[in-house]
Amino acid sequence: MFGNLFGSKKAAATTVSKTSTIQPNDPSKTIVTLRESIANQEKREEHIEKKIQMMVKEAKAKMAKGDKKGALFAMKRKKLYEQEQEKIQNVKFTLETQVMSLESATQNAQTVKAMQEGSKTMQKIRNDVGIEQVDDIMDNIKEEMEMAQEINEAISQPVDTLMADEDELLDELNALETADLEAELLKPPAAAEKPLSMPAAPDSKLPALAQKEQDDLKALEAELAGL
């Protein structure tokens, strides 16, 4: 008896060790295996349902023949099949619960993995482009813009080689104007000029022109007389 007891403990320990060394499979493969088990349980449930219906028919047939003992035995078998059917339904429910939980866990794992990858990517970008580097870039941009503005202002300035002598030229111009004014004032007054006399126009008309007017007047009078 003690040997059997120790042997059973050893067997149990061996079973636990084997179970603990089982490595988890790929979640998708596990889900497929669970769905196959559910399908097998459904087939078994259909088979047992047929057995239950057969026991009902058998019990009715034996009752019709007056075989109450046989009918009672058939009903007991029907009861056993119904208990087995209930077990199968419980197993199906457990398997379906595992499928749903595993699908949810797989989805959560994929989501967490995606979030981790996103976090790592953002961290890498932040390390590649740090705040100090951004500040340096902005300072360089501002410096380049200021230099460009200074270059534009330098280019837009007028180029006049005589701009430095402008005051001297203005003084020379004023001196010329003063000299001209003094020369004009020192000129002697000019004598008054006599007005030009124009010949008077003749009052009488030219002879040829007067004769032509008379001829035109006579021709007009003759034309009017003919009317």
Tell me: the pLDDT tens digits for 79-93?
999 999 999 999 999
One-letter-per-residue 3-state SS of 61-108: HHHHCCCHHHHHHHHHHHHHHHHHHHHHHHHHHHHHHHHHHHHHHHHH
DSSP string, 141-187: HHHHHHHHHHHHHHHHS---TTGGGHHHHHHHHHHHHHHHHHHHHTS
pLDDT score at 187:
72
Question: What is the per-residue pLDDT for 1?
Answer: 40
For 51, counting Cβ atoms within 10 Å of its Cβ (0-12 exposed, 13-18 middle, 19+ buried), the class is middle
The tens digit of pLDDT for each residue in 109-124 reads 889 999 999 988 888 8
pLDDT of 156: 78
Q: pLDDT tens-digit profile of 160-194?
A: 655 556 677 677 777 777 877 777 777 766 655 55
- pLDDT of 25: 72
- Which contacts of 78-87 are long-range, i.e. CB under 8 A and separated by 24 or more positions? 78/52, 81/48, 81/51, 81/52, 81/55, 82/52, 84/48, 85/45, 85/48, 85/49, 85/52
How far apart CA 13 and CA 7 sit, in angstroms, is 10
pLDDT in tens, 122-137: 888 878 877 777 788 8
Radius of gyration of the chain from Cα atoms? 66
Q: According to the model, what pLDDT value does residue 122 have?
A: 87
